[in-house]
Amino acid sequence: QVQLVESGGGLVKPGGSLRLSCAASGFSFSDHYMSWFRQAPGKGLEWLSYISSSGDSLSYADSVKGRFTISRDNAKNSLYLQMNSLRAEDTAIYYCAVRYDSGSLDDYWGQGTLVTVSS
Protein backbone atom coordinates (compact mmCIF):
# COMPACT_ATOMS: atom_id res chain seq x y z
CA GLN A 1 0.00 0.00 0.00
CA VAL A 2 1.04 3.61 -0.44
CA GLN A 3 3.24 4.94 2.34
CA LEU A 4 4.69 8.40 2.77
CA VAL A 5 7.00 8.91 5.74
CA GLU A 6 8.31 12.38 6.56
CA SER A 7 11.38 13.04 8.65
CA GLY A 8 13.76 15.85 9.49
CA GLY A 9 11.55 18.05 11.61
CA GLY A 10 12.69 19.55 14.88
CA LEU A 11 13.47 22.73 16.77
CA VAL A 12 15.37 25.44 14.91
CA LYS A 13 16.16 29.07 15.70
CA PRO A 14 14.73 31.92 13.64
CA GLY A 15 16.87 32.43 10.56
CA GLY A 16 18.01 28.82 10.62
CA SER A 17 17.61 26.02 8.10
CA LEU A 18 16.15 22.55 8.04
CA ARG A 19 15.77 19.87 5.38
CA LEU A 20 12.71 17.67 5.41
CA SER A 21 12.58 14.30 3.68
CA CYS A 22 9.69 12.15 2.57
CA ALA A 23 10.27 8.47 1.81
CA ALA A 24 7.69 7.06 -0.58
CA SER A 25 6.68 3.46 -1.24
CA GLY A 26 3.81 1.45 -2.66
CA PHE A 27 3.41 3.38 -5.89
CA SER A 28 5.46 4.39 -8.90
CA PHE A 29 7.10 7.45 -7.35
CA SER A 30 8.87 8.60 -10.51
CA ASP A 31 5.57 8.86 -12.40
CA HIS A 32 3.84 11.36 -10.14
CA TYR A 33 3.85 14.97 -9.03
CA MET A 34 4.52 15.39 -5.32
CA SER A 35 3.51 18.17 -2.96
CA TRP A 36 4.24 19.62 0.46
CA PHE A 37 1.57 21.04 2.74
CA ARG A 38 1.69 22.38 6.27
CA GLN A 39 -0.60 23.06 9.20
CA ALA A 40 0.29 25.54 11.93
CA PRO A 41 -0.79 24.51 15.45
CA GLY A 42 -4.55 24.76 15.75
CA LYS A 43 -4.83 26.24 12.26
CA GLY A 44 -5.91 25.17 8.80
CA LEU A 45 -4.11 23.56 5.88
CA GLU A 46 -1.76 25.34 3.50
CA TRP A 47 -0.33 24.08 0.22
CA LEU A 48 3.37 24.97 -0.05
CA SER A 49 4.91 23.51 -3.16
CA TYR A 50 4.75 20.90 -5.90
CA ILE A 51 7.33 19.23 -8.10
CA SER A 52 6.65 17.41 -11.34
CA SER A 53 7.53 13.75 -11.85
CA SER A 54 10.83 14.57 -13.57
CA GLY A 55 11.58 17.55 -11.36
CA ASP A 56 11.57 20.10 -14.16
CA SER A 57 8.42 21.90 -13.08
CA LEU A 58 8.17 23.50 -9.64
CA SER A 59 5.76 25.85 -7.94
CA TYR A 60 5.68 27.55 -4.55
CA ALA A 61 3.24 29.40 -2.36
CA ASP A 62 4.05 33.09 -1.98
CA SER A 63 4.60 32.53 1.76
CA VAL A 64 7.68 30.36 1.12
CA LYS A 65 8.90 31.47 -2.31
CA GLY A 66 12.60 32.31 -2.24
CA ARG A 67 13.14 30.57 1.11
CA PHE A 68 12.05 26.97 0.51
CA THR A 69 13.24 24.61 -2.24
CA ILE A 70 11.51 21.41 -3.24
CA SER A 71 13.45 18.58 -4.86
CA ARG A 72 13.25 14.85 -5.45
CA ASP A 73 15.44 11.83 -6.05
CA ASN A 74 13.52 9.32 -8.11
CA ALA A 75 16.26 6.71 -7.68
CA LYS A 76 15.70 6.86 -3.92
CA ASN A 77 11.90 7.36 -4.05
CA SER A 78 12.41 10.44 -1.93
CA LEU A 79 11.05 13.98 -1.80
CA TYR A 80 12.76 16.85 -0.02
CA LEU A 81 12.01 20.34 1.25
CA GLN A 82 14.96 22.58 2.00
CA MET A 83 13.80 25.35 4.31
CA ASN A 84 16.00 28.41 4.81
CA SER A 85 15.54 31.73 6.64
CA LEU A 86 12.97 30.12 8.91
CA ARG A 87 10.54 32.32 10.83
CA ALA A 88 8.34 31.75 13.86
CA GLU A 89 5.32 31.63 11.54
CA ASP A 90 6.82 28.59 9.77
CA THR A 91 6.14 26.54 12.91
CA ALA A 92 3.82 23.78 11.71
CA ILE A 93 3.36 20.13 10.93
CA TYR A 94 4.70 19.52 7.42
CA TYR A 95 3.08 16.86 5.24
CA CYS A 96 4.15 15.38 1.94
CA ALA A 97 1.36 14.18 -0.32
CA VAL A 98 0.66 12.61 -3.67
CA ARG A 99 -2.49 12.77 -5.74
CA TYR A 100 -3.10 10.94 -8.99
CA ASP A 101 -5.91 9.77 -11.17
CA SER A 102 -6.09 6.00 -11.39
CA GLY A 103 -9.66 5.99 -12.63
CA SER A 104 -10.58 7.47 -9.31
CA LEU A 105 -8.66 10.24 -7.57
CA ASP A 106 -6.11 8.72 -5.23
CA ASP A 107 -4.80 11.06 -2.55
CA TYR A 108 -2.28 10.10 0.08
CA TRP A 109 -0.61 12.06 2.87
CA GLY A 110 2.20 11.19 5.23
CA GLN A 111 1.82 11.38 9.00
CA GLY A 112 3.63 14.71 9.13
CA THR A 113 6.75 16.04 10.81
CA LEU A 114 6.73 18.92 13.27
CA VAL A 115 8.92 21.94 12.67
CA THR A 116 9.23 24.42 15.53
CA VAL A 117 10.96 27.75 14.93
CA SER A 118 11.80 29.38 18.23
CA SER A 119 14.71 31.00 20.00
* Interacting residue ranges for another protein, rule: CB under 8 A: 35, 44-47, 50, 59, 61-62, 95, 99, 104-105, 107, 109-112
Phi, psi (rounded to 5 degrees) for 16: -80, -175
Q: How far is the CB of 108 from another protein (least distance, A)?
A: 9
Rounded Cα–Cα distance for residues 89 and 91 (Å): 5
Decide whether 15 or 107 has the Cβ nearer to another protein: 107
Q: CB of residue 97 vs another protein: minimum separation in angstroms?
A: 8
- CB 48, min distance to another protein, A: 9
Q: Supply the minimum distance, in Å, between the C-beta of residue 119 and another protein.
A: 26
CA distance 26 to 7: 18
- Kindly write down the DSSP assignment for every residue of 67-82, as one continuous string: TEEEEEETTTTEEEEE
Q: Considering Cα of 34, then 93, then 16, then 18, what sign does the dihedral take?
A: negative
Query: Cβ closer to another protein: 11 or 58?
Result: 58
C-beta closer to another protein: residue 16 or 112: 112
